[in-house]
Amino acid sequence: MTLRRAFQTLVLLSFLALAPACGAEEEPPPDDAERLRSAVTTEDILQHARRFEEIAEANGGNRAAGTPGYDASVDYVAQQLREAGYDVSVRPFEIPYYEELAPARLELVAPDARPYQEGEDFSALHFSGSGAVVAPVRPVDLGEPGDSSSGCERSDFKRLVEGEVALMRRGSCPFEDKVSNAEEAGASAVVIFNEGSQGRTGPLGAGTLERPGIGIPVIGASLAVGEDLARLNAEDGGAAVRVAASTVSENRSTANVVAERRSGSEDGTVVVGAHLDSVREGPGINDNGSGSATILEIARKMTELGVEPRKKVRFAFWGAEEIGLVGSTSYVEGLSEDEVEEIGTYLNFDMLGSPNFVRFVYDGSSGPRGSGRIEEVFTDYFASRNLEVRTDSTLEGRSDHGPFAERGIPIGGLFTGFEGTKTEEESALFGGEAGEPHDPCYHQACDTVENLNPRALDEMSDAAAHATVVLAEEE
Ligand SMILES: [Zn+2]
């Protein structure tokens, strides 16, 4: 705060010294933060957001990591930054990619024919392989509810005949171990059913293998289906099923986009980041086309205006945030100790245009030392505009500042709310509808440009531009 005032005084004095004839009433010339704020307009940010939406529309409705919609977003951002004079690097990394191309099937074919219902009775586990088989069921050391290590040892499969479907109970070891053992023993498919104790009876809906690499269909079934198959097998001397799954389960390459200029001291570098990927369910315009478009426009306007702060400013567009902060984590893990030391600030912008918005500034006290100063730059700025804010740590560990904080880099950022419901208190502070979600389209197909609140975007982008310049300028 004191430094900021000293800086403004200096600007004023130099102006007076250069232009003594102008008189004392003359306003001081605008500083860089002010010039940047007025150059970064909501209309220009919305232009980028519209482009992201068009990209999603042309690519199956989303911009998720590992899809053509994401790759096209990378091309757009990289091109814009190159045109603006940045050194741009597109940095690839690998992600596990999984997609179901058709609904999975599980049907009894003997001793009688009966289909089970996908969703209700069973579903494919994430990272299931593909295939379609009709084969006898082989129960594998099923044990009892609460006491089963079914399929956890290779010796469990000694009665399995090659090509049979291994039927296993959940429990004792990861799904991955059971499935690898079954595949090695020659099973043509796997059905793992819920284990039966403590209300574990449903179809393992969220069940997931750790990674791609399994070559056979893997079905997670309810306790009832598992018990049905086990009983039929014991009573009738054998049951047979049809199992089918059609999936893409593979490692794919995706990328971060990192841009900087040669100017500015590396010591205390300000990294400004936003994730560029969406979820698979929609185009991801508030989450996080809003943050991406905002920092892209800040970057463009900085070169256009010739704003060159003392410290280096680096813009980062992260890939694969939505599947577990993969891009930012890979970037931070790739930094040497010296490179970590050089970064003085990481600013994160994830969701800046929520329709029923709140003004949340990341709580500096929940970040590493130095984060308090970043919080203060934001809160001082909003105070100067008479805009209410709240400090908040909702996003702690849930967005790309997490990996930076873990290495002790001071972090800060802005956030206008996602799945939470607006409280009466928030409504009194920020306006909008109490009792309604901050963003009713969060992670849905309706997260389009229509979903953005231009006022939120305007206020947040000004604050983001301001903090970038102020933090890159100060000691
Ligand atoms: Zn997000």
Domain boundaries, the chain: 29-86+261-473, 98-249
164 is catalytic: no
DSSP 8-state symbol, 195: -
Ligand 1 centroid to residue 100 C-alpha, Å: 23
60: left (phi over 0), alpha (psi -120 to 50) or beta: left
DSSP 8-state symbol, 118: B
Count CB-CB contacts under 10 A for residue 11: 15
Residue that has been written with the tokens 């296993």 in this structure: 168
The pLDDT, as a whole number, for residue 290 is 98
**Closest C-alpha to 215, from 138, 153, 131:** 131
CA angle, 118 as apex, 218 and 221 as ends, to 5°?
45
272 - beta bridge partners?
A: 315, 347
Note whether 107 and 116 are within 8 A (CB). Answer: yes
The pLDDT, as a whole number, for residue 303 is 97
CA angle, 13 as apex, 12 and 15 as ends, to 5°?
65
Note whether 61 and 444 are within 8 A (CB). Answer: no
The pLDDT, as a whole number, for residue 411 is 97
Confidence class for position 117, pLDDT limits 50, 70, 90:
very high
State which fold the 29-86+261-473 domain adopts: Aminopeptidase (3.40.630)
Q: Is 13 helix (H, G, I), strand (E, B) or coil?
A: helix
Cα Dmax for the chain: 105
The pLDDT, as a whole number, for residue 7 is 41
Confidence class for position 13, pLDDT limits 50, 70, 90:
very low
- Both tokens of 455, joined, read 């006022």
The pLDDT, as a whole number, for residue 29 is 63
- Distance CA(151)–CA(158), nearest Å, equals 11
- Distance CA(106)–CA(45), nearest Å, equals 48
Ligand 1 centroid to residue 393 C-alpha, Å: 15
Give the tens place of pLDDT for each residue, 428-460.
999 999 999 999 999 999 999 999 999 999 999
**Closest C-alpha to 332, from 349, 356, 311, 348:** 348
Residue burial 412-441, b: 16+ Cβ < 10 Å; e: rest = bbbbbbbebebeeebbebbebeeeebbbeb
Please name the residue ranges forming H helices in 343-394.
371-384
Ligand 1 centroid to residue 419 C-alpha, Å: 11
**Active-site hit among 164, 321, 375, 473:** 321
Domain 98-249 has CATH 3.40.50.10790: no
The rounded Cα 321 to chain-centroid distance in angstroms is: 3
Is 59's pLDDT higher than 90? yes
Ligand 1 centroid to residue 461 C-alpha, Å: 16
What is the mean predicted confidence (pLDDT) over 80-87? Answer: 98
Is 14's pLDDT higher than 60? no
**Closest C-alpha to 123, from 98, 150, 105, 102:** 105
Ligand 1 centroid to residue 275 C-alpha, Å: 7
